Structure 1
Amino acid sequence: MPSITFIHHDTRAETVSANDGDSAMYTALLHGVDGITGECGGGAVCATCHVYVDDNWLGKVGTVGADEDELLEGVASERLPNSRLSCQIKITEALDGLVLRLPERQV
């Protein structure tokens, strides 16, 4: 079972188990990770699941699609080159140990 470590804005780390095929956003919500709102439930329409992918994982999480790219333009915290919507990151065994940093705020 893959694990994801969420690094909170205050630098506190929280590691949770994920299921293959689930999104990083769903995993965060399932485990009650503060800092992921996911208002649209993973439909990629709200951008309240914004995360910063740790540099070591950028090449492994897939590319940003056009819809995601557009939503990232309106995130509440600064968009960075490693910004992603966690609802668009699908978990696989290859992502075991994934590190995602949470922005200061989602809304």
Structure 2
Amino acid sequence: MRVTDEADDQEVRRIEQQLTNFAHVEGFTLGAIFYEYETGSLAAFSELIEELRRSETHHVVVSSLEQLAHCRALQVAMVLNVELRADAAVHELSGV
């Protein structure tokens, strides 16, 4: 989850709860929420890929693809990265 300086703590908690609820309803076990605090950084994304591969987990839940990137082309590239490097599917909460 991207967390900017402008992010409201209540909004972050609300998103965390939505992720937790979605995982529960879908029968997933929520292993971790990865936080990215620096704009343009991919450190948390890289950690996510490594954890997916290590734990052989096959699902990633994001509140919105905008949590991955603002640019649609980069969103697609990052989803493909998850699919190809970690053999995992990305699930988006938007509209839920």
- More strand, by proportion: 1
Q: Which of 1 and 2 has greater Rg?
A: 2
Fold match (TM-score > 0.5): no
TM-score normalized by the length of structure 1 = 0.29
